[in-house]
Amino acid sequence: MDYSILIPLFFAIFGSMIGSFLNVVILRLPENKSIVFPASHCPNCATEIHWYDNIPIISFIFLKGRCRSCHQSISWQYPVVELAMALLSLALYLQFSISVAFPIYFIFSAALLVIIFIDSHHQIIPDVISLPGIIIGFGLSFFNPFVTWQNSGLGILLGGGSFYAIAGTYYLFTKRAGMGGGDIKLLAMIGAFLGWQSLPFVVFGSSVMGTVAGIGAMIKQRKGGKTVIPYGPFLSLASLLYLFFQEKIHLLFSILFVPQ
């Protein structure tokens, strides 16, 4: 038997378990509830969930997406977050192997995943994630083989600073506040973990994704709906793209913007 599959599989399973915990954070953090107590329970009938009904991804499939006690449907968000963290963990292992960069970017990816879902639902980026994220990202840069502490520090300053400039420009043209203070702190956190070199792509990539989503929302609004589009999820997605494809991104940017 070929055992070489076991290590990647371990990282995927580990990721899915952390994803299961992140579901609790996504649900309870915006409501200021403890993320440790009480134990997982059905949000509809409050029945405590047995361990065998709490296995990431697998339990959702076996329960056919319904609570065992009250048969209320369980949000698809649970298996999606578990699967996303499983895939991120696997991708991080393939990218960084077992090295000091793995835990650094595992923490970063988990924080971004939580921000994507909380910002989508509540239009807030919790300070309890972004502010410690800035400090942790900078602190870890002293051990990070990919980002020096100078580039991390500059990333915090430029990430926070450039976003003030963009938010100001947007306000000047539209007289509306487009981006909140939460986005500014998030970009400072991204700069801390990825270095200032990531910021052109993160700002550019998130703007493109945000504009596409904005056009989609405008079409939807004409049909009677009113959609608020938070910006944090696009900043987070662009950061994840940069994390995994930075060499290709830098190559593309140098072809596009640097005179040959």
State the residues that interact with Zn ion by CB under 5 A: 42, 44-45, 67, 69-70
Instruction: Using the minimum distance from each CB to Zn ion, give the nearer residue, 70 or 252.
Output: 70
Instruction: Using the minimum distance from each CB to Zn ion, give the nearer residue, 43 or 216.
Output: 43
Instruction: Using the minimum distance from each CB to Zn ion, give the nearer residue, 42 or 136.
Output: 42
- Least distance between Zn ion and beta carbon 44 (Å): 4
Separation between Cα atoms, residue 40 and residue 213, nearest integer Å: 34
- Least distance between Zn ion and beta carbon 49 (Å): 9
- Least distance between Zn ion and beta carbon 18 (Å): 24
Q: Helices marked H in the chain — which ranges?
A: 6-28, 58-62, 77-96, 101-122, 127-140, 149-174, 181-194, 199-222, 232-257
- Least distance between Zn ion and beta carbon 41 (Å): 8
Separation between Cα atoms, residue 80 and residue 84, nearest integer Å: 6
Instruction: Using the minimum distance from each CB to Zn ion, give the nearer residue, 66 or 121.
Output: 66
Query: What is the separation of C-alpha 172 from the centre of its chain, rounded to a whole number of angstroms?
Result: 29
Separation between Cα atoms, residue 73 and residue 116, nearest integer Å: 23
